[in-house]
Amino acid sequence: MNKKILIGILIGIVIVGSFIFINYWKSQKIKVSTDKSVYFSEPIELTIKSGLDKPVFITPTFSIRIEVEDDQIYGEKWRPLKTIVGTGCNCFLNLKCDEKGFTIPPQIKINPHSFYNLSLNPDCFFEKNKKYRIQVMPSIQIGKGKFKHIGFYYSNEFLVKEPQVVIKTDKQEYKQGEEVKIIAINNLGKSIWYAKRLDGCKCSFWELEKFAKGKWKKVVYHPFVLCEISDFGFTELEPKEKLEEIWDGYVWISEESKGYKRKTADSGKYRVIFYYSLENISRFDWYFKKHWYFKKRIKIYSNEFIIKEPTSKKCISEGGTLFPNDGNKCCVGLSPRWNYEIQEDGSCKSISGSSGRQLICVKCGNGVCGEGENGCNCPKDCKDFKCKEHGEIPIFFLGDDMSIQCCKGLKHRLQKEYFDENCTNLFEKYGGGGYAGICLACGDGICDEKFESKCNCPEDCK
């Protein structure tokens, strides 16, 4: 009896372990992500990336669900805010809707090792100041007209905030002397007023602070000119309108009796301040403006950003390797390509390391099969790879001509699934990710209905 119980326990462990392993493997193949971590009233840009060797299908009105962080109802961290069905089609800004409330096309096909972008309506995230994530349930085709879900995949968590006035910079990190773009956006549903500089007063609509010795201190980024409130014109900033200005990365430093000297801003942590008013005070006289503005104005801060000293890190020379986002760069004239090795059968195998897939710096496109290049990562220059036969998909290189990977006599075309009934390219019609295409024997007088149609091979198919 005890022996039977032990065997049952072992079988259970094996089943559970297999389930965990399979789901872990799947999770490495589908990636769902948004372009930002904080949103106000702008669209949420969602990318679904597939690393599978077969097509993946997404039915937006059934396969995508918004979840909001809330443990007050179900006792779970996440609860479904809205399953996008029927009128939920309006949640997809880059897809059209039919009369029944379904997307056009109703099903999206993501090619092997490709991706698709969706733009989500911010009005669908109606609970503000909360964290969200997107659940995606992709499918694979298992037969004619038959599909099977392959699991649940989740995006990163992101915050949707109440619309407000925002001041921000275009990046979080800069080198000394690098230009900084400063952006102010009115996300409120009404106009605001801000103090705009006039001729003779060199400061702008924003102020600059640097963190030093445990405190934030004002930094002069403009030639020192005494600006009274009368030197400013109070300007309206309408809803959704934005201001942009470039700070050149220089500041003005006082040198006692020598006055102010212009120099590159020191390395350190900075932030920008923006003042605005909810009332139009431009109609008031100068005295009232001065006292009312300084008493009633609203003060907001930008994100904090870092200015770093330039480093003397050497660039990676030809044939040298690196990893994505490791801070290294190829030397001038070289470009990073995925590092592959060619197998005995002519197929390509990617090389990986402890930090993921490996890149190699090459001089691809000069007509010479140089160091680090082969037919897998630079087919323009190297021919030592197995060409793609009829019905096979080339390796995807953004911006490259992938037709050179097709065997002699074949033509590189878009897969027939990427056309509608009018032979309109769905990527051009709805927008979306890149694609690798397919190698076809178009022109041989035979319409191979498995890969060819009148849309991608009109020479053979009528």
Per-residue pLDDT of the chain (462 residues; tens, 9 = 90+): 566 666 666 776 656 655 554 554 455 589 999 998 988 778 899 999 999 989 999 988 888 888 888 765 555 788 887 544 434 688 888 888 888 778 888 889 999 999 999 999 888 877 778 889 999 999 999 888 888 888 889 999 998 887 789 999 999 999 887 889 999 999 888 898 887 654 445 557 788 999 998 899 988 887 554 454 444 567 889 988 999 988 888 887 766 555 567 788 899 999 999 988 887 766 555 445 555 566 677 889 999 999 987 665 678 889 998 887 666 888 988 988 888 888 777 777 888 876 677 889 999 888 888 888 988 888 888 877 778 889 988 876 645 677 878 888 899 888 888 888 888 887 666 655 456 789 999 999 999 999 999 999 999 998
Spell out the domain ranges in the chain: 30-160, 165-308, 313-385, 387-462
How far apart are alpha carbons 350 and 294 in whole angstroms?
62
Q: Do the first three CATH levels of 30-160 and 165-308 match, i.e. the same topology?
A: yes
Q: Taking Cα atoms as reference points, which of 284, 46, 303, 33 lies closest to residue 185?
A: 303
3-state secondary structure of 65: strand
Count of CA atoms in the C-beta half-sphere (13 A) of 8: 5
3-state secondary structure of 294: helix
What type of residue sits at position 18? S
Q: Taking Cα atoms as reference points, which of 96, 120, 118, 94 lies closest to residue 42?
A: 120
pLDDT of residue 29: 82
Fold that domain 165-308 belongs to in CATH? Immunoglobulin-like (2.60.40)
Q: Taking Cα atoms as reference points, which of 203, 200, 148, 160 lies closest to residue 69?
A: 160
Structure tokens, 82: 């809205």
Class at the top of the CATH hierarchy for domain 30-160: mainly beta
> Is 310:291 a contact under the CB 8 Å cutoff?
no
Strand (E) or helix (H) holding 340:
strand 340-342
Q: How many CB atoms lie within 10 A of CB 61?
A: 22
pLDDT of residue 200: 45
Structure tokens, 322: 């690196």
pLDDT of residue 322: 85
Q: Backbone dihedral region of 66: left (phi > 0), alpha (psi from -120 to 50 degrees) or beta?
A: beta
263 phi and psi angles, rounded to 5 deg: -150, 165
- Residue 385 CB-density burial (10 A; 0-12 exposed, 13-18 middle, 19+ buried): buried
How far apart are alpha carbons 405 and 387 in whole angstroms?
5
| Sequence-distant (≥ 6) Cβ neighbours of residue 376 within 8 angstroms | 340, 341, 342, 348, 385, 395
pLDDT of residue 231: 44
